[in-house]
């Protein structure tokens, strides 16, 4: 009995374009051309406004970077998308709120040392608040990891993923209770006075209250300066820690091959907990900086920034620390420039569309590498 050979199906033109990523390259090239044309015109029409938007994009981009690092570090170690990370960010913001409004923690340098320079007193007090939020978030993340994630370490990944979603909802709605954070919006009190500078034809000048901004000038506040500087310092410290310390090397070994790292004497459980703690500490710092920039806190405030930071981590290549930073800065610029020159309601859609198109061209993200499955 003769059997006919199965005929190989010839892919259609559209399937060929998708398989060869040609469609993605075409879309990416088209969007880049449109973006260059639109942003180039915007720069030529009003350079100061364009630079102002770039500055605003850097501010929010660095906040996203601090959050995105937690996603990418945890994923690199345990292959878990920790959806509760955005809520840890929220806890960091609320911790700083209570530290400032109820405990007056930011004023302790001036109380103990009345003759201390006010600028130095504010700086020390603010750093103290940030450190407190980082410690609280680190302890919270270690507790979550030990209670909710560690028992599922050898379970199917979907179990840990669903658990992470459950932990996220628990933190949000537990925080909404009246005896915890409350469900209402709360105005955030900044730990220092806002100083705004104007950069224009007259050089750099302090913008006084009620004074109009000179035409063609760029506004830059101490909030933007603090966010960018603190973020860069934390990113440099993290990079040094991962590259040069014994614990950082253990983290890299665990990320590469958990079983082999255990055989080489690495305490894998402690390393994973340390990774959660560091990522959460960075999210706590981001929560403080975000609340200082946008002075309002609410129990669900971690959802959108957490989602965008996750997108930034995927865009840069989840598992890659430099990728998380680059992805966050790209997302910050895309969000800000889209709101300024295209449409404010469409800014999130445009930012997420960039992610889709980049993944069509490079599924592992900008800095990501194809990795084998690990135990």
What burial class does residue 93 get, using C-beta atoms within 10 Å of its C-beta: 0-12 exposed, 13-18 middle, 19+ buried? buried
Q: Give 121-139 pLDDT, tens digit per residue.
A: 989 999 999 999 999 999 9
144, pLDDT greater than 60: yes
User: What's the pLDDT score for residue 115?
Assistant: 87
The answer to whether 285 touches 66, Cβ cutoff 8 Å, is yes
Q: Could you tell me which of 273, 278, 301 has the C-alpha nearest to residue 288?
A: 301
pLDDT number for residue 147: 94
β-strands 218-221, 186-187 pairing:
unpaired
Range in 38-47, 108-117, 236-245 with the lowest mean pLDDT: 38-47
pTM, full prediction: 0.86
Local structure of 271: helix, strand or coil = helix
- Give every strand in the sheet of 196-200, ordered side by side: 203-206, 196-200, 218-221
Angle, to 10 degrees, between the axis of helix 47-78 and the axis of helix 22-45?
A: 150
Q: Is 14 exposed, middle or buried (0-12, 13-18, 19+ CB in 10 A)?
A: exposed
Residue spans per domain, the chain: 55-361
pLDDT, mean of residues 91-106: 94
Which residue did the predictor score with more confidence, 19 or 294? 294
- Residue 297 β-bridge partners: 186
For 264, the token pair is: 């080489």
Nearest to 327 by CA among 352, 346, 349: 352
Q: What pLDDT shows up at residue 101?
A: 92
Q: How do strand 196-200 and strand 218-221 relate by DSSP bridges?
A: antiparallel
Find all residues with CB under 8 Å of 374, minimum gap 6, and list them.
Answer: 79, 257, 258
- Measured CA to CA in angstroms, residue 26 lies from 10, 181, 251, 257, 358 at distances of 23, 48, 39, 37, 11
Q: Which of 353, 303, 308 is nearest to 327 (CA)?
A: 308
CA triple 258-264-267, angle to 5 deg = 60
Residue 19: what pLDDT? 64
- The pLDDT of residue 16 is 66
pLDDT value of residue 32: 79
Residue 97, strand partner residues: none
Which of 319, 54, 279, 285 lies closest to 144, judged by CA? 279
Write down the pLDDT at residue 119: 87
Q: HSE (CB half, 13 Å, CA atoms) of 124?
A: 13
Q: Are 76 and 255 within 8 A, CB to CB?
A: yes
Average pLDDT over residues 280-307: 93
Question: Residue 206: its pLDDT value, please?
Answer: 83
| Site of tokens 């850097």 | 58
In the three-class reduction of DSSP (H, G, I as helix; E, B as strand; rest coil), residue 237 is classed as helix
One CATH from 3.90.550, 3.30.2450, 1.10.3470, 3.30.420 for 55-361:
1.10.3470
pLDDT band at residue 99, thresholds of 50, 70 and 90? very high
If pLDDT is split at 50, 70 and 90, which confidence band does 1 have?
A: very low
Which pLDDT belongs to residue 247?
A: 92
pLDDT in tens, 12-33: 666 666 666 677 777 778 877 8
pLDDT at residue 375 tops 90: no
| pLDDT tens string 179-216 | 899 899 999 999 988 888 888 777 778 887 777 777 77
pLDDT of 6 strictly over 60: no
Indicate whether 226 pLDDT > 60: yes
pLDDT digits 0-9 by tens, 23-82: 777 777 887 788 788 888 888 888 888 888 898 999 999 999 999 998 888 888 888 889
């Amino acid at each position: 009995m003769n059997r006919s050979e199965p005929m190989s199906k010839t892919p259609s033109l559209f399937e060929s374009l998708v398989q060869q990523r040609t469609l993605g390259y075409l879309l990416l090239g088209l969007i880049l051309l449109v973006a260059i044309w639109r942003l180039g015109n915007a720069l030529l029409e009003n350079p100061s406004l364009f630079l102002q938007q770039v500055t605003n994009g850097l501010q929010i981009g660095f906040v996203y970077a601090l959050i995105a690092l937690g996603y990418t570090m945890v994923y690199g170690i345990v292959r878990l998308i920790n959806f509760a990370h955005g809520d840890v960010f929220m806890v960091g913001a609320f911790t700083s709120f209570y530290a400032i409004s109820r405990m007056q923690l930011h004023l302790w340098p001036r109380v103990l040392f009345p003759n201390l320079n006010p600028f130095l007193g504010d700086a020390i007090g603010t750093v103290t608040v940030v450190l407190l939020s980082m410690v609280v978030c680190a302890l919270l993340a270690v507790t979550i990891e030990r209670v909710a994630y560690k028992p599922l370490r050898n379970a199917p990944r979907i179990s840990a993923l669903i658990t992470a979603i459950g932990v996220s909802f628990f933190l949000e709605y537990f925080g909404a209770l009246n005896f915890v954070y409350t469900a209402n919006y709360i105005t955030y009190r900044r730990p220092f006075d806002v100083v705004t500078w104007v950069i224009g034809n007259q050089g750099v000048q302090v913008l006084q209250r009620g004074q109009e901004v000179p035409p063609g000038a760029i506004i830059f506040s101490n909030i933007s300066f603090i966010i960018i500087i603190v973020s860069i310092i934390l990113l440099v410290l993290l990079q040094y820690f991962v590259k040069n310390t014994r614990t950082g090397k253990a983290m890299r070994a665990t990320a590469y091959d958990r079983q082999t790292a255990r055989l080489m004497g690495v305490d894998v459980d402690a390393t994973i907990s340390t990774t959660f703690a560091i990522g959460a500490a960075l999210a706590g710092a981001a929560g403080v900086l975000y609340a200082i920039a946008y002075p309002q806190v609410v129990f669900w405030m971690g959802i959108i920034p957490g989602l965008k930071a996750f997108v930034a981590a995927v865009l840069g290549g989840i598992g890659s620390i430099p990728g998380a930073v680059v992805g966050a800065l790209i997302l910050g610029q895309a969000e800000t420039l889209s709101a300024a020159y295209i449409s404010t309601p469409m800014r999130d859609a445009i930012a997420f569309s960039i992610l889709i198109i980049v993944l069509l061209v490079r599924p592992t993200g900008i800095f990501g590498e194809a990795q084998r499955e690990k135990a």
